[in-house]
Structure 1
Amino acid sequence: MKPPHILLIVGGGIAAYKACELIRLIRKAGMSVRCVLTDGGAQFITPMTLAALSENEVFTTLWDLKNETEMGHIQLSREADLIVVCPATADLLAKMAAGISDSLATTVLLATDTPVLAVPAMNVRMWQHAATQRNVARLRADGVTVVDPDDGAMACGEYGPGRLPEPVAIMQRVEAALHRVSAAPAERGPLAGRRVLVTAGPTHEPIDPVRYIANRSSGRQGFAIAEAAAAMGADVQLVAGPVHLPTPSGVTRIDVETAREMAMAVDAALPADIAIMVAAVADWRTAGAAEQKIKKTGGALPVLELAENPDILAELAKDPRRPALLVGFAAETENVLDHAQAKLARKGCDWIVANDVSGDVMGGSDNAVHIVTADGVESWSNLPKDQVARKLMEKIADAVVR
């Protein structure tokens, strides 16, 4: 069997030096690798270094007649089993999301039908900027696997998310991506080829820079459902509110904070075959969050004016791109089935998964649920959340694969 071939695009940034160790790991794993070095990347490492490590010619420009004759950019974009962009700078991510092709690297990325794995590295504020997060959401919706950067100290002296993961961790993601590409249909599960959208966790609606409106959702049930869907072979997009949970294997994660950000991320993740809206989205937000911390003033209580958040589930039900199966969740503290049946009719979804959260369900490890459909109610006794997830995904697979 021919060994996998990787095309490594090295972006600009001090983290480019880690690409050298990544090449060594790729070669050690028995794979071949070619490199495209951007102008920015060439400020930190040389073509000679990459050529020596990869034992292949390094490509740097779109305007080399000899290279275009012997190895055109179209062939370069198609011969690989996986394209890895490492480090993926904010500039590269923006151009990828916008479909700009003004260099060899961006032209290769636009011309390819090969799976792409992007490994970002940049300043923490650049990573957290709304523009970068929109670009990442767009790329993930387009099928690009974007790895979340690590937290840590950076060359600029700041600390936070934006640090390039260590080469060993990147290599693990490369191997996982290649496994997904090469998996035989029988290994890929009943949802192979299906696109599944899952939302999970709470949303945080800011009151001022230090306070927010939230709920007790831990995100565990939604993350377990995303993991179970991926295990069945689905292409899973997980839109996650602010929770501290590891990203499930084989899942593309989009992090958001507010309900409006979640609504935009859901819209960007469409189309999908199946949507499972597990997130406990805040119904209201403050009409205008204070720019500075609200202070006590002589005992007078602050007045918070509230505005209604978008109804993500109801809007998705009316969207022309509506998934074929739309599943909502209902967290109730009383009259669980009555409220769930009313929600099913009001929201326009296909199923409602209802549970009683009057205890510690939202932060706990177990769940007891009722599956409410137009045909009736199916109740499941208390189970660990991962078992609920597997059982629900088996029911979904039975409904859509027949």
Structure 2
Amino acid sequence: MLKGKKILVGVTGSIAAYKAAFLVRLLIKEEAEVKVILTDAAKDFITPLTLATLSKNPVFSVFTDGDQGEWNNHVDLGLWADAMLVAPASANTIGKMANGLCDNLLLATYLSARCPVFFAPAMDLDMYQHPSVLSNIKRLKEFGNHLIEARHGELASGLIGTGRMAEPEDLVEALRNGFATTDLPLSGKNVMITAGPTYEAIDPVRFIGNYSSGKMGYALAEKAANAGASVTLISGPTHLSISHPRINTVSVKSGKEMFDACNEVYANTDINIFAAAVADYSPTEAADQKIKKQDSRMALELAKTIDIAKTLGAKKSNQQFNVGFALETNNEVENAKKKIDSKNFDLIVLNSLQDKGAGFGHDTNKISIIDKANNIEHFELKTKTEVAKDIIDAIIAKV
């Protein structure tokens, strides 16, 4: 999809600038034509020679070169590109882009560009959440620019939070999506995906929950959207965020709230992926005030929560395709197969807590996919992004 496309990459002053080398290399592998603009601050993190070698084009950073008055024409650069990607986009550059400031070649080119512009923020977590930065990001989006959300993880400061630039593979996929056409395999499909845990309130400050991070559901949402689907992502509490023109995120807390949100859209869906780890039980009553410590023991009465997949599966039409998940610790395959029938699934994804690196809290997972005919395909341990692609590919093969 990127073959022959002219991609202008803008690199600003951030430690994440080193990833620009990997980004450019991936774009060249996609047979795109790449030109790079560096700010002066970016040169402290990566050299023009590195990016010129990888892009097979001179790197631009100043308006004029040499003693003969050669001019790097920002207007020509802006008109040349089919897409412009600023990655990493520092808080400084985002602020200038949002307010029309123009004190370097990158900014002048941005203001001259007629092509779609993508920007991938990279900064420390407190900077990323500062009201001024959020306001500038919002303004850029209102201008029609495409935000590629920062990711959650360990930052250069040593802190852990949201602010990491999206990985080069994610940036390339965002560009692919920008050039997407109606030929994508899930174009015209409405997909509902549940993700994350649910929190069942005991009192205003305590709850019953689980260790689900939501990473699998969010990765599935992104892969489905990149395949052309219109996605409704219904997410329990999680630190994750996602930004995609074809993803609508609905945030919920309890299992009841998740069921209500699912039930509202279910009749209009084509594909449903139940990836959330919904709590099996909920307190029969939640206290209005914080429960004080009194005795050495406390009894808590629990009731079963709504089985969302089973309830909605009971009214599934012949045109709908439902996918479930099974997290098992013993008799994994047999238990997973039973859920296909009891919950009216077309496919079930089995992952086992017995496998190191799989399950809750990990960036990796190891799955098996079982269909209604009891055909089973086993996969090796992979990143959850790669696992999501395997699942979406399996769905595409069936629908």
Q: TM-score category by the smaller chain?
A: 0.5 to 0.7
Partner of 1:328: 324
The alpha-carbon deviation at position 298 of structure 1 amounts to: 3.8
Q: 3-state DSSP class of the match of 1:381?
A: coil
Q: Deviations over 1:198-220 (max 9, x none)?
A: 11111111111111101111111
The alpha-carbon deviation at position 320 of structure 1 amounts to: 5.4
Change (3 A) 1:396 1:297: same
The alpha-carbon deviation at position 362 of structure 1 amounts to: 0.8
Partner of 2:274: 277
Structure 1 position 375 matched with structure 2 position 347: no
Separation in structure 1 between the aligned mates of residue 181 and residue 393 of structure 2, nearest angstrom: 20
Change (3 A) 1:366 1:246: same
Structure 1 position 354 matched with structure 2 position 350: yes
Partner of 2:30: none
Instruction: Work out whether residues 199 and 238 of structure 1, in 8 Å CA contact, stay in contact via their aligned partners in 2.
Output: yes
Separation in structure 2 between the aligned mates of residue 269 and residue 195 of structure 1, nearest angstrom: 10
Structure 1 position 393 matched with structure 2 position 392: yes
Letter in 1 for 2:330: E
Structure 1 position 204 matched with structure 2 position 175: no
Instruction: Work out whether residues 223 and 248 of structure 1, in 8 Å CA contact, stay in contact via their aligned partners in 2.
Output: no
Q: Deviations over 1:241-300 (max 9, x none)?
A: 10111215332111111101111111122311101110010111111111111111142x
Change (3 A) 1:321 1:182: farther
**2:237 pairs with 242, 251, 257, which one?**
242
Map of 1:99-248 to 2, 5 A cutoff?
166-172=138-144, 183-186=180-183, 189-248=184-243
Separation in structure 1 between the aligned mates of residue 243 and residue 318 of structure 2, nearest angstrom: 25
Instruction: Work out whether residues 205 and 282 of structure 1, in 8 Å CA contact, stay in contact via their aligned partners in 2.
Output: yes
Map of 1:38-57 to 2, 5 A cutoff?
none
Separation in structure 1 between the aligned mates of residue 241 and residue 231 of structure 2, nearest angstrom: 15
**1:264 pairs with 254, 257, 260, which one?**
260
Change (3 A) 1:21 1:180: farther
Instruction: Work out whether residues 327 and 352 of structure 1, in 8 Å CA contact, stay in contact via their aligned partners in 2.
Output: yes
Instruction: Work out whether residues 202 and 242 of structure 1, in 8 Å CA contact, stay in contact via their aligned partners in 2.
Output: yes
Structure 1 position 307 matched with structure 2 position 303: yes
Instruction: Work out whether residues 237 and 251 of structure 2, in 8 Å CA contact, stay in contact via their aligned partners in 1.
Output: yes
Q: 3-state DSSP class of the match of 2:391?
A: helix
TM-score (structure 2 length as normaliser): 0.57
**2:312 pairs with 300, 316, 321, which one?**
316
TM-score (structure 1 length as normaliser): 0.56
Separation in structure 1 between the aligned mates of residue 304 and residue 368 of structure 2, nearest angstrom: 28
Provide the aligned C-alpha RMSD in A: 3.7
Change (3 A) 1:173 1:347: farther
Instruction: Work out whether residues 340 and 354 of structure 1, in 8 Å CA contact, stay in contact via their aligned partners in 2.
Output: yes
Task: Tell me the matched-pair count.
Answer: 260
Instruction: Work out whether residues 192 and 273 of structure 2, in 8 Å CA contact, stay in contact via their aligned partners in 1.
Output: yes
Q: 3-state DSSP class of the match of 1:166?
A: helix
Change (3 A) 1:374 1:166: closer
Separation in structure 1 between the aligned mates of residue 271 and residue 389 of structure 2, nearest angstrom: 15
Change (3 A) 1:372 1:182: closer
Separation in structure 2 between the aligned mates of residue 312 and residue 171 of structure 1, nearest angstrom: 39
Change (3 A) 1:242 1:315: same
Separation in structure 2 between the aligned mates of residue 323 and residue 206 of structure 1, nearest angstrom: 36
Partner of 1:102: none
Separation in structure 1 between the aligned mates of residue 260 and residue 145 of structure 2, nearest angstrom: 27
Instruction: Work out whether residues 147 and 243 of structure 2, in 8 Å CA contact, stay in contact via their aligned partners in 1.
Output: no
Structure 1 position 288 matched with structure 2 position 285: yes
Separation in structure 2 between the aligned mates of residue 304 and residue 328 of structure 1, nearest angstrom: 30
Separation in structure 2 between the aligned mates of residue 272 and residue 224 of structure 1, nearest angstrom: 19
Separation in structure 1 between the aligned mates of residue 338 and residue 371 of structure 2, nearest angstrom: 11
The alpha-carbon deviation at position 164 of structure 1 amounts to: 9.2
Partner of 2:364: 366
The alpha-carbon deviation at position 28 of structure 1 amounts to: 5.6
Q: 3-state DSSP class of the match of 2:392?
A: helix
The alpha-carbon deviation at position 181 of structure 1 amounts to: 9.7
Separation in structure 2 between the aligned mates of residue 232 and residue 335 of structure 1, nearest angstrom: 34
The alpha-carbon deviation at position 171 of structure 1 amounts to: 3.3
Change (3 A) 1:312 1:169: same
Separation in structure 2 between the aligned mates of residue 153 and residue 212 of structure 1, nearest angstrom: 30
The alpha-carbon deviation at position 29 of structure 1 amounts to: 7.2
Separation in structure 2 between the aligned mates of residue 173 and residue 284 of structure 1, nearest angstrom: 44
Separation in structure 1 between the aligned mates of residue 295 and residue 320 of structure 2, nearest angstrom: 56
Q: 3-state DSSP class of the match of 2:380?
A: strand
Q: Deviations over 1:209-242 (max 9, x none)?
A: 1111011111111111111111111111111110
Separation in structure 2 between the aligned mates of residue 246 and residue 216 of structure 1, nearest angstrom: 17
Instruction: Work out whether residues 195 and 216 of structure 2, in 8 Å CA contact, stay in contact via their aligned partners in 1.
Output: yes
Change (3 A) 1:174 1:368: closer
The alpha-carbon deviation at position 185 of structure 1 amounts to: 2.4
Separation in structure 1 between the aligned mates of residue 142 and residue 301 of structure 2, nearest angstrom: 46
